[in-house]
Amino acid sequence: MIIILKKGADASQVEGLKSLLRARNITPQVSEGSIQTIIGCVGDVAHVDPSILEALDVVESVQRIQEPYKAANRKFHPDDSVIDCSGTKVGGGMFAVAAGPCSVESEEQVVGIAKAVKAAGATLLRGGAFKPRTSPYAFQGLGADGIRMLQVARRETGLPIVTELMDFRDIELFNDVDVIQIGARNMQNFNLLKEVGSYTKKPILLKRGMSATLQELLMSAEYVMASGNPNVILCERGIRTFETALRNTLDLGVVPLLHQMSHLPVFVDPSHATGRAGMVDPVAVAAAAIGADGLIIEVHNDPPHAKCDGAQSQTPEMFASTMERIRRIRAAR
């Protein structure tokens, strides 16, 4: 249930309304938008009679909502969330591009790629240090060393760094990381979401699970937000369907839909969505055209020899050409 307040509502009457809600075991979440102030009611509202609230002087109207996500819900927070990723702003009409290798392989590799993607216009450096691999025999990432190498690349380029956390036991290694990625496989690792949300207010880049509905994605964002961290960026990275021609099926229509459902920024990952370097450019451009707030693009200096996801990695030259096309599409929107 949400309560829409009258413009210029008297502060002491608003406080009175909040205590009335609390007395009924409802937590009021006040959201002051530029146009209207709204109170989201978290808790069991089944026993609250909206007409009693509507009779109050400060209340414009009361709406019941069905969605179980509150903090992530656009209805509670009408303005876009703008998330500050150590200087790179995400959301609210800005466009961010997180680029870099699927996995950090050496300092030289990640610094070289970081310089190339920065020159092409990337605004975040993304590289994996802890890799969720299907096979236990596949390269698992450089771990703590990989994070250190990302930090060197950040020093060299000024790009804030994004990297994936798989296990909360590693969290201290992420204290000097700018954005923490929670990958598709961990999207519903609820304990991890709760622990991360209560440990830090750093931006969390939350990727959609490969068979997750949008409501499930938003409920996972809700876990992080309800634990105390409002800074969540959603990411559509393709889902599993009957179609196997590409690595995943990109659900591009969710970008405007998520923007209706939620105030959180929405990224698209054309690399994991398609699995093919040659498909990344058109899909990235389509994502920019449909209104995504940003992209994740995998870039490798030597894709045939990459330790992970070489087939979907653009070369720095391909990436520079995609960035140019994105700039033109963004200007035309």
Binding site for ligand PEP (CB under 6 A): 102, 128, 132, 183-185, 207, 237, 272
- List the one residue from 164, 222, 293, 309 that touches Mn ion (CB under 5 A): 309
CA distance 107 to 155: 12
DSSP letters, 164-232, are E---GGGGGGGTT-SEEEE-GGGTT-HHHHHHHHHH--S-EEEEPPTT--HHHHHHHHHHHHHTT---E
Nearer to ligand PEP, 5 or 306 (CB): 306
Nearer to ligand PEP, 59 or 206 (CB): 206
Q: State whether residue 53 is helix, strand or coil.
A: helix
Closest approach, Cβ 112 to ligand PEP, in A, equals 19
Whose CB is nearest to ligand PEP?
A: 183
Closest approach, Cβ 183 to ligand PEP, in A, equals 3
Torsion angle (degrees, nearest 10) of CA 29, 204, 159, 155: 110
Closest approach, Cβ 266 to Mn ion, in A, equals 19
Q: Is 269 in the site for Mn ion (CB under 5 A)?
A: no
Nearer to ligand PEP, 145 or 324 (CB): 145
CA distance 328 to 200: 37
Nearer to ligand PEP, 91 or 100 (CB): 100
Is 14 in contact with 5 (CB distance < 8 Å)?
A: yes
Closest approach, Cβ 76 to ligand PEP, in A, equals 28
The answer for residues whose C-beta is within 8 angstroms of residue 178's C-beta and 6 or more apart is 85, 86, 124, 154, 160, 161, 162, 202, 203
List binders of Mn ion among 102-121 (CB under 5 A). 102
Closest approach, Cβ 224 to Mn ion, in A, equals 22
Nearer to ligand PEP, 6 or 185 (CB): 185
Q: How many residues bind Mn ion (CB under 5 A)?
A: 2
Residues that bind Mn ion (CB under 5 A): 102, 309
